[in-house]
Structure 1
């Protein structure tokens, strides 16, 4: 009896999340986190993308319903910027925007959409793959840089030895040999400085990548949806910039 009175009280207080006028709440969409009247359930929500896959629970069964997603770590809900009483429930891939049910019904119902948690989880998986690929790429770049430095060092030593042997064999070419040796050392120093700068640039890129990935990981841990997506965009922008810079310097 007390439970029935509680349900009736909820119906009297709540308004439909779609029409925002009807207070005779009948169901709740667990995917949209939305209370609805029967009319909006049949006429409006039914037009949502993948609405047939949403979990609709009668209001009287809300307290006994076990949401399978409770065990998962969800991103924090976001209030709609255009409809402050609504929580966003979908991500519009077409417009790159977070949407509430009212946004979907009014403007975005024909757009390509995806449930926010699923969309963010996909970005998390992309982040993990990018981290693995980036670490592998940076290790390869550093390895190649070290190999090039060793080859240049070996060649430099060989050249110096040849020049010194020529100097001992013929005093008449001593002046020429000394000049060649000086020129060679200048080139070697210049090349060494260049290699050092490149190595510093590589290490800086690596640190920058670690920083942006750490930012994404931090936002992922905090489950801040908008900040997480912004951090993901920044990560992709930084990686594109590094790839362009690396390709240009090859």
Structure 2
């Protein structure tokens, strides 16, 4: 396993890291959220797709980085295809994500790995040239794919050169949650050479957010105020449960 270090946080070593999203639509709202989120997060994710002024995104990223100080910043442009707030063409998506990676303000960028391949590769190359970690991601809000398909997607992300491989799926049954957890275990034990982040969404999947690290997930998402995805748990409660599991182990 090759852990990923962003500032003083190491993904893939020790306890699972807690990532908390910012979803403010204005600069003022984002800074208010930073004050509430930063004390509780190992990594802060800025959901850029919620922001109302995308042409100002790079400047806003710098403001957020200054406000966060030593807390790493993950920039995510989540598109409507994967449950996000905006619809955007591949080239425009690439331009925005590359600009964020090149801004000097962010420590990680999220890349929807099923976008057009040349765009994904361009983002990865630009980010790595500036020592910004790449989180390749895939979100299925309709269902939970079979175990072998989940593993195949994670392996493809790894082969693309992402530093962290992330998948989120929607369960329709208890068995679906087990499918996600077992796919995580298999990927972690048999194929992964870098950190994984996996989750089953919604109420059924909450257990994966609380105990996913037992199966190999290196991080989980918590919330302060507004959730950015179904099933996110309040960060204070989340950290308490993670502590119980860690002490028991």
Using the size of structure 1 for normalisation, the TM-score is: 0.19
Higher relative contact order (CA 8 A, sep 6+): 2
Using the size of structure 2 for normalisation, the TM-score is: 0.19
Larger Rg: 1
The structure richer in helix per residue is 1
The structure richer in strand per residue is 2
